[in-house]
């Protein structure tokens, strides 16, 4: 496994039709009072690295691309620190990056996404369709909002009450513990508000959904051990999706 941006061009010249480039996709948005606004970036990077490690063990040449941190994030627009772009911008960027990789001979682009604002998910589905219509590279997008994949990521994730909750906080405790505010985390009560249900009922922001502190779920119950297990599952899902094609 190699980081694309740490390799010199002679090594990248050898990337061919059997190689896989993995793009981590995150967001810059509020994640409760205890997690940094870049939380989704680190989660996606962990998924990408673990997926690439598993692919490398299977003999697949896997590169992790520089992360795309900016994303549509209208649900968190009420909170300081959130930086949102349009869905159209994201769709165009992913599609153009796919074209650039195809021009370099890369056979597969895999998306590692952990930001589930409906605008983000819709933009990535549009980008995936645009790339598929172009015919190359092969596009792999394991959409974690799909039930079959969500069921592999724990009860809180399945419930939709997982923004900055136990699921995301556990991964940050495993990946970047120095960025978790432990004093704030320990004081947060569990908040069983499903963003999935809120979206279905037409509520289009964290505050309207009842997330007055930009979190739901149970961050106080998080652990680094669980975070490591979740990263392993995320990497497994990504590698399986790549190998399935």
| DSSP states along 78-97 | TSTT-BB--HHHHHHHHHHH
pLDDT > 80? residue 14: no
The full length of the chain comes to 245
- 133, 62 Cβ separation under 8 angstroms: no
The pLDDT value given to residue 226: 98
Token readout for 80 is: 């300081």
Least confident of 22-31, 101-110, 194-203: 194-203
The pLDDT value given to residue 44: 98
Domains of the chain, each with CATH number or no CATH: 2-244 (3.40.50.10310)
pLDDT in tens, 36-68: 999 999 999 999 999 999 999 999 999 999 999
The pLDDT value given to residue 184: 97
Burial of 53 (0-12, 13-18, 19+ CB in 10 A): middle
* Exposure b/e, 160-171, CB count within 10 A at least 16 = b: bbbbbbbbbbbb
pLDDT bin (cut points 50, 70, 90) of residue 15 is confident
């Amino acid at each position: 496994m190699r980081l694309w941006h740490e390799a010199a061009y002679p090594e990248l010249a050898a990337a061919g039709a059997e190689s896989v480039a993995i793009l981590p996709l995150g967001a810059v948005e509020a994640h409760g009072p205890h997690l940094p606004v870049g939380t989704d970036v680190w989660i996606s990077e962990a998924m990408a690295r673990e997926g690439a490690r598993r692919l490398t063990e299977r003999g697949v040449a896997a590169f992790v691309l520089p992360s795309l941190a900016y994303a549509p994030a209208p649900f968190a627009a009420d909170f300081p620190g959130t930086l949102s772009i349009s869905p159209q911008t994201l769709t165009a960027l992913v599609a153009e990056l796919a074209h650039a990789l195809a021009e370099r001979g890369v056979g597969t682009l895999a998306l590692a996404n952990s930001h589930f604002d409906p605008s983000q998910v819709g933009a990535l589905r549009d980008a995936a369709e645009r790339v598929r219509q172009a015919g190359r590279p092969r596009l792999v997008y394991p959409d974690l909002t799909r039930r079959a994949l969500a069921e592999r990521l724990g009860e809180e994730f399945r419930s939709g009450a997982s923004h900055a909750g136990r699921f995301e906080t556990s991964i940050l405790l495993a990946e970047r513990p120095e960025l978790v505010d432990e004093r704030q985390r320990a004081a947060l009560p569990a908040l069983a508000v499903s963003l999935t249900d809120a979206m279905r009922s037409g509520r289009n922001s964290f505050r309207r959904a009842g997330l007055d502190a930009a979190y739901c779920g149970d961050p106080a119950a998080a652990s680094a051990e669980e975070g490591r297990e979740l990263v392993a599952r995320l990497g497994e899902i990504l590698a399986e999706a790549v190998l399935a094609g």
